[in-house]
Chains A and B, each alone.
Chain A
Amino acid sequence: MLELRAITAGYDRRAPVVRDATLTVAPGESVGLLGPSGCGKSTLARVAALLHRPDAGTLLLDGAPVHRWRHRAPRELRTAVGVVFQQPRLSADPRLRLTDLIAEPLRATGRRAAVPVRMAELAETVGLTPDLLARRPHEVSDGQLQRACVARALVLRPRWLICDEMTAMLDASTTAALVGVVEDYRASTGAGLLAVGHDRTLLDRWCDRTADWETVTGRSCGGPGAGAPAGKAAS
């Protein structure tokens, strides 16, 4: 289980972006989290992905409470969660060729030997040709780069996937293709999915169930507040 219990999180303790959010994803389940721009759903996704320490509340991964986030999170937890962000440009190191971008998690966790086999499988899965794998991010389209980012998220075979607006920058065909890649992966591994987005039609079609931000936080969200940041950097 991936359980978010009464999570309060934000960037200023006096004005948290997320208040008291509770959401559970069962193993193998896919849950879509729906909310308008600026409501805080991406922040909650970052908490679930071990990338943002909440101010209050508990995150349980497979029954164990998480105490450390970001680089302090223990490796066995970090590698259990794969993340795909909205903007591939901002979440890809511009210096790395796509092949190195995808292989980086393997190298960082001392599984260098697995690179050739895993790369071959994943390139095929996400539809990247050897020619594209040899390029750097500025030499490929958004859609091609997001394919690489999905491959990077799957490379360590995570038990949990967090997709934060994964398809917001993509055209319809690439969207359908990448959702297909994630679903094939889940069908073969039984991984759970938290897909965050604002497109009800898409998430209804994609996920087993969807949860609205109001029900997750127990209160309504006024939409993008006047002070809500416009740019959503997926650092």
Chain B
Amino acid sequence: MTERPPVLSVRGLSVRFLLPGGRRIAAVTDARFDVAPGECLALIGESGCGKSVLASALLGLLPANAQTAGGAFLGDLDLLTADERTLARTVRGRRIGLIPQSPAAHLTPVRTVRSQMEETVAQLTGVRGRTALRTAAERAARRAGFPPDHLDRHPHELSGGLAQRAATALALIGDAPLLLADEPTTGLDRDLVDRTVDELRRHVDADGDRALLMITHDLAAAERVADRVAVMYAGRIVELADAKAFFGAPGPRHPYSRGLLDALPDRAFTPIPGMPPELGDLPDGCAFAARCDRATDACTALPPFTGSIACHHPAPAPAPAPAPEDIRA
């Protein structure tokens, strides 16, 4: 897996929003990660931490008041500097398939699923002619487990799970090498979450060249599907870890990641004290220090990201039995 070039390579990606009155919102700062062929990377973090802005930046869908820096490479193409024509004609749907949050809202409410499916097939593939389109649309539906006899329904006539599959089917039509799922399971019940992420995983496994970047705050979904986990806090990636080690032993290393897992109802069910800082008013040092029980004077300086962690006093890396005790003494 390491020899093949990554499908997506994000290099120091930053996004700033300029607001009236000279305010600057640091939505994403210096994000660095790769997604390899056949790999699923889950990007997790609290709501408002910049996850979805990162997704919008990759698709060139940021609002006009956004400024970007760094690079995000899909092969040789830098998504951040590519012009709208390139993004619209060669990237969206063709090289990146988007699986949206709230699929019911993503679909056009006034048209049937079939007509949206046929339109997408016609746009993204060479299929022409009414019968051929009809067959291709049905094939696309079946591929994502969407029952073809529901194709003539409008989006509001679908359950949440079926709407999700319709959106997945549309995302798969262009055979894009990168699937980008933005909170694909929000509001679904546990069975549907499991089914949805299993299907995403299947589409990655079915074709070893495809990669999945899943943005989510659902830790159970991330654990189920991901090979690696990137944890984002206040616009920065603070930990990048192997999913097995992260969710199992030895567990996460960053105090924020540990806090997130401890908040789960099947673990300690205790919240991290306080709230994330405002992205327009970030501290100079570690953004998590104000909520961190390990914080020391060192935390007034920004911890550098080592490639796996950005923290002045992370939990030890390889030890099979990590000592959670406080070492400040």
Closest Cβ of chain B to A48, distance in Å, is: 20
Q: Can you list, as one digit per residue, whether each of A140-152 has a CB less than 8 Å from chain B (1) or not (0)?
A: 0111100000000
Binary interface encoding of chain B residues 251-277 relative to chain A, with 1 for a CB under 8 A from any of its CBs, else 0? 000000001110111100111101100
B217 touches A170 (CB 8 A): yes
Whether B271 pairs with A224 at a CB distance below 8 angstroms is no
B260–A37 contact, CB under 8 A? no
Question: Is A176 in contact with B47, judged by CB distance below 8 angstroms?
Answer: no
Interface class of chain A by DSSP: loop
What is the interface size of chain B, counting residues whose CB is below 8 A from a CB of the partner? Answer: 41
Residue of A at shortest CB range from B103? A230
Please, what's the 1-or-0 string for A147-174, where 1 marks a CB less than 8 Å from any CB in chain B? 0000000000000000001001111111
Q: Does B250 contact A (CB under 8 A)?
A: no
B127 to chain A, nearest CB (A): 28
Q: Are A141 and B47 in contact (CB under 8 A)?
A: yes
A36 on interface, CB distance cutoff 8 Å: yes
Q: Provided the pairs A174-B46, A176-B270 are in contact, do residues A169 and B186 lie with their beta carbons within 8 angstroms?
A: yes
State which residues 159-197 of B face A: CB under 8 Å: 159-163, 186-192
Does A127 make an interface contact (CB < 8 A)? Answer: yes
Does B219 reach chain A (CB closer than 8 Å)?
yes
Interface of B is mostly: loop
Return chain A residues, CB-CB under 8 Å to B160. 37-38, 224, 230
Q: Is A179 an interface residue (CB 8 A)?
A: yes
Q: Which residues of A contact B187 (CB under 8 A)?
A: 86-87, 165, 168-169, 232
Binds A, one of B10-18, B149-157, B303-311: B149-157
Chain B residue contacts of A235, Cβ below 8 A? none
Q: Are A199 and B272 in contact (CB under 8 A)?
A: no
- The list of the 8 closest CB pairs from A to B, nearest first, reads A141-B48, A224-B159, A198-B189, A177-B271, A171-B217, A176-B271, A172-B263, A230-B104
23 A/B residue pairs, CB under 8 Å, sorted by A: A37-B189, A131-B278, A170-B47, A171-B217, A171-B260, A171-B263, A173-B271, A173-B272, A176-B264, A176-B265, A176-B271, A198-B189, A199-B190, A201-B265, A223-B191, A224-B159, A225-B159, A226-B157, A227-B157, A230-B104, A230-B158, A230-B159, A231-B156
Binding site for B on A (CB under 8 A): 36-38, 86-87, 127, 131, 141-144, 165, 168-177, 179-180, 198-202, 204-206, 223-232
Known: A173-B260, A200-B190, A226-B158. 11 other contacts (CB 8 A): A36-B189, A36-B191, A37-B161, A86-B187, A141-B46, A171-B217, A174-B46, A177-B271, A180-B271, A201-B266, A231-B105
